[in-house]
Structure 1
C-alpha cells in the first residue's frame, strides 16, 4: 500500500504523536510511506502565525526528533518542492480576490473553501468568533496564501503519485483543510485523525471532518449497534461517563473543577418554571461550514436576546438562568461582553468563573436550553427535558426537543415538557466513552507530553534556545535544509 501522511506540525504534541503512530503502523506492515512536511515553507500557520524563525526551528526540531524514533523506510517530501510556477501565479491572485470579497466565507479556490478555512484558524487563535476582517487583513492574507500553497502542492502530488490513502490531522484548520479538499478533489481516500475518547486513543474519520455532523451521528449509532459489550455493559459504560463528567474532583471534565456540586444561584426559586441555559464556547465550530450554522438565529447571543424579549410577559412565574461556558473565563470579546450585559427581571447571567454547579443547575431545572452545548444531551441522561436551538452532534438522535422555527421556541420554553427517552443519551455517552483506536507506539504521560517508542519527543537543545540558538543553527535561508539531522 502506498500511504501519504500530511505532517506539517511538529509543535503540537497531539498532532505529531498521532502522525508518528500512523506512520509506524504502516511501516511495520511493510507499506510504502511518505510524509509531507513543512520546513518553514508556510507564510503563516496555526502553530506559528507570524512565521517567527525560532518557532519554526522548534517545530522542525521536534518533528525530526520524532522521526528518528521511527522504523527505517520513511520518505520525506517537502511542501515547497510540490508547488509549481503556475501555482504561485494562482496563489498571488488571491490577494486581488480578497480585496473584492464582502464576506470572507465566499472565498474559494476550486472546491477549497479558503475563506472558511482561514476564518476557522483565526477564530481559534483569537478565541473570538466575531473576526474584524479589516483589522485582521494581514493575517488573513498570509493564512490564505499559505493554505492555497498547501492545496496546490498537495493536488500536484496526488495527481503524480496517486497514493492509496492519505492521513492528516483535524482537517478544520487552514493548511489541514487545504490538504483535505485536495484529496476530495483528486478522489483519493483520506482519513482525518483526531483525539479519541481520551489521550490514549485517536480517531479516524474517512473522507470528512471529525466535526462532520452526519458522519458522527452514524458513528454513534454504529458503535452502539456493533459493540461486543452486552446491553447492560453499554449502559454501565455510558452511565459512568456521564457520572464522571459531573464530578468536579474527577479528570473527565476540567471545566468544572472550580465549581461546587450542589450550589445553585441565590435567587433560585423552586416555585417558578426554571430554565437553565448553557452557552457554547463557539470558536471551534464557528467556521466549520454551513451544517454548523444555527438554523434559527445568527448566533446564540441573538437567540438569547430574542428569548429574553419573548418571555418578558412571564417574568412573574418563569426565570431563565444563563450559564456562560467555563471555557470563556478570561475571554473578552464582543460575544462575552454582550452576554454579561444582558439583564431582565426574569433573567440571570452566571459568569464563567462562578462556582455555581452546572450539573446541579441542569438537574434542578424544569427545562434545559442549549445552542449545542454537551449539557443538552447530558441533561437528558439526568432526566431533564432538553430544548436544542442550534446544530450539534446529537441534534438528530431524538433525545431533545428541536424547534424547526423560532415561533415554536417560546412554547417549548414556557410550558412543562416530558423528558425524552434516555437511550439516545446512553448511545451518545457510550460513544464518547469508547470511540477511537488505542495507541500502540505512543504512550501519553499527560495531555501534552508522552513517549514514542519509549523516547521523549522534544526538539534538540539548540532548536529550543530560540534566538540564542539561531546564532549556532544559522538562518534557514542560509542552511541547506536537505542536510539537517534526521532527514532521510
Structure 2
C-alpha cells in the first residue's frame, strides 16, 4: 500500500490539525504502508496565508509543521514541495508563461484549471470579486507556483505508483494542483475538510467540498448511518439552528452576536407586506466553475437590481428589505457600495447595511416571504414556517424545502402568489450534519469556543522559546533590510 498525504497548508489553517491526524490514522491502520507526507515548509513564500510573503510567517509555518510531526508515531516519509519540483518543471512552466498572452486567471494546463484555482485564492485574499486591483498582486507568481506543483506532483505520483492520495480541501491553487495531478494519473484523491467545529472530518472523493451534490450525499449518508433514532437526529438538527439563532458559532462565525435582539427598522408597520432578502457574500463562491454558477443572473447584484425594480414598480404596497450579509462590512469594493445604493431607489426598497444592529431573526419573523441567493438563513426561515424563494446556487439548491423558479420570468409569479412554507426533514438533516457530521477524528480536536486546534491533546502549532525568538529576529531583519533568512 502506497499512500500520499498532501498537507500543503499549515499556519493559520485548521488543516494543521486535520492532516497530521489523518497521517497518524493511516499509520495506525496500515503500519506496513509506504506513506509520504508532503508539506510546503517554505518551498513557496506566497500563499493564501502569507500574501505579503513575510519570512517570519514561513519560518513559523515550517517550524510548526516540524514540531507537530514529532507527535506522530510510526513510519512515514516527510517530503517537501522543493523535493518534488525539478528544474525541468520550472523551465516548462516559465516557458509556458512567456508564451501565454491571455489573462492568467483563464489559464488551463492539461486538466488543471490553474487560473481559476488561483483566482479563487486571489478573491479570498482581496475580496476583489471583479479584479479591479489584480495588477497590485503577484498573480503570475501564484499561478506559476501552482503549475510547477502540479507538474511535480503528477510526476511524483507516477514515480512512486501511489494507490491513493489524501489532500486538504482542493479549492485553491496549490491544493487544486494535488487533486488534478492525482486525477491526471488515474489515482483517487480524497479531499478532507471539516463539517463543523469540534473534531470531525468529512471526505470528498475526486471532487471539491463545494460540490453541491457530493455535499448532499455526505449529508444523506450521515443521516442514514447514524445509530440514533429519527427523533434524536431531528432534535439535534433543530439544536444546530437554535444555537445559531442565539449567536453561537457552531460551524462558522456568528454574525448576530453584535445585533440587538428583536430590533426592527422604524419603517416597519403592520399594514405592509415585507419581502425580506438575505444576501450572501457571493465573492466566496465566484471561482468554482459551474458548481455555484447562478442560473438566473450574472451575479447577486444583478439579481438584487432585478428585485428592486420589480418590487419597486409592481409591488408598491410591499416593502423590499435587503439585509446585507455582515461578512461584507470590511469590503470596500464597488460591488458592495452598489448594493447600498439600492436603498430608496423606490420608496418601498430598503437596504440594511452589514454593520446595522437590526436583528436578522426579527426580520425573518416579520417576513411574508424570504428571498435568498444561497444564505443558510434560507433553511432557517423555511424551518420556522416562512416561504423561501431561492435565486442562486447553494448547498440546498436541489432540495425541495425552498421555491426555485424555473426561469427569471417566474420570480414575479412567486412574489405574487400566496405561498406556504415547504419545510421538510431535509433541513434537519443539514442541521444534524453541521452539528456533528463526518467522521470523528482520533487525534484532531477543534474547540468550539475558539480556544485552539489540538493534535493528541497538544495545541498546534506549538513552539520552543528559541523558535519564537528566531521568528521575531527574522521579522525584524526583514522589516529593516528586506532580507529573507527564513
- Say whether the fold is shared (TM-score over 0.5): yes
CA contact (8 A) 1:151 1:182 kept: yes
CA contact (8 A) 1:399 1:420 kept: yes
After superposition, the Cα gap between the structure-2 partners of 1:272 and 1:232, relative to the gap in structure 1 and judged at 3 Å, is same
Gaps spanning 5+ residues in structure 2: where? none
Give yes or no for the alignment of 1:451 onto 2:454: yes
**Once the two structures are superposed, what CA deviation does each residue of 1:250-287 show, in whole Å capped at 9, x if it has no partner?**
76652110122222211112322211101111232111
CA contact (8 A) 2:55 2:485 kept: no
For 1:388 and 1:124, locate their aligned partners in 2 and report how far apart those are by CA, in whole Å.
24
For 1:432 and 1:467, locate their aligned partners in 2 and report how far apart those are by CA, in whole Å.
39
CA contact (8 A) 1:221 1:427 kept: yes
User: Which secondary structure state, in structure 1, belongs to the residue aligned with residue 420 of structure 2?
Assistant: coil
Which 10-residue stretch deviates more, 62-71 or 41-50? 41-50
- TM-score, normalization by structure 1: 0.91
After superposition, the Cα gap between the structure-2 partners of 1:431 and 1:451, relative to the gap in structure 1 and judged at 3 Å, is closer
Structure 1 counterpart of 2:439: 437
Structure 2 counterpart of 1:371: 373
Q: State the Cα distance separating 1:85 from its structure 2 match.
A: 3.3
- TM-score, normalization by structure 2: 0.92
For 1:215 and 1:299, locate their aligned partners in 2 and report how far apart those are by CA, in whole Å.
23
1:30-429 map, 5 Å: 30=31, 31-96=33-98, 99-101=101-103, 104-132=104-132, 134-136=134-136, 138-248=137-247, 254-343=254-343, 344-429=346-431
1:13-32 map, 5 Å: 13-29=13-29, 30=31, 31-32=33-34
After superposition, the Cα gap between the structure-2 partners of 1:477 and 1:366, relative to the gap in structure 1 and judged at 3 Å, is closer
**Once the two structures are superposed, what CA deviation does each residue of 1:350-370 show, in whole Å capped at 9, x if it has no partner?**
111111111221122011101
Q: State the Cα distance separating 1:427 from its structure 2 match.
A: 2.1
Which 10-residue stretch deviates more, 35-44 or 206-215? 35-44
User: Which secondary structure state, in structure 2, belongs to the residue aligned with residue 143 of structure 1?
Assistant: helix
**Once the two structures are superposed, what CA deviation does each residue of 1:174-193 show, in whole Å capped at 9, x if it has no partner?**
10011111111112111111
CA contact (8 A) 2:167 2:190 kept: yes
After superposition, the Cα gap between the structure-2 partners of 1:49 and 1:330, relative to the gap in structure 1 and judged at 3 Å, is closer
Structure 1 counterpart of 2:5: 5
**Once the two structures are superposed, what CA deviation does each residue of 1:326-357 show, in whole Å capped at 9, x if it has no partner?**
11222211221111111221111111111111
Q: State the Cα distance separating 1:15 from its structure 2 match.
A: 1.1
Q: State the Cα distance separating 1:115 from its structure 2 match.
A: 1.2
CA contact (8 A) 1:61 1:460 kept: no
Gaps spanning 5+ residues in structure 1: where? 480-488
After superposition, the Cα gap between the structure-2 partners of 1:230 and 1:114, relative to the gap in structure 1 and judged at 3 Å, is same
After superposition, the Cα gap between the structure-2 partners of 1:99 and 1:61, relative to the gap in structure 1 and judged at 3 Å, is same
After superposition, the Cα gap between the structure-2 partners of 1:233 and 1:39, relative to the gap in structure 1 and judged at 3 Å, is closer
After superposition, the Cα gap between the structure-2 partners of 1:423 and 1:453, relative to the gap in structure 1 and judged at 3 Å, is closer
Candidates 459, 465, 468, aligned match of 1:464? 468
After superposition, the Cα gap between the structure-2 partners of 1:251 and 1:161, relative to the gap in structure 1 and judged at 3 Å, is closer
Q: State the Cα distance separating 1:296 from its structure 2 match.
A: 0.8
For 2:74 and 2:196, locate their aligned partners in 1 and report how far apart those are by CA, in whole Å.
31
Aligned residues: 475
For 2:143 and 2:451, locate their aligned partners in 1 and report how far apart those are by CA, in whole Å.
28
Which 10-residue stretch deviates more, 154-163 or 74-83? 74-83
Q: State the Cα distance separating 1:322 from its structure 2 match.
A: 0.7
Which 10-residue stretch deviates more, 18-27 or 323-332? 323-332
Q: RMSD of aligned C-alpha atoms?
A: 2.4
CA contact (8 A) 1:83 1:153 kept: yes
For 2:475 and 2:309, locate their aligned partners in 1 and report how far apart those are by CA, in whole Å.
59
For 2:274 and 2:446, locate their aligned partners in 1 and report how far apart those are by CA, in whole Å.
43
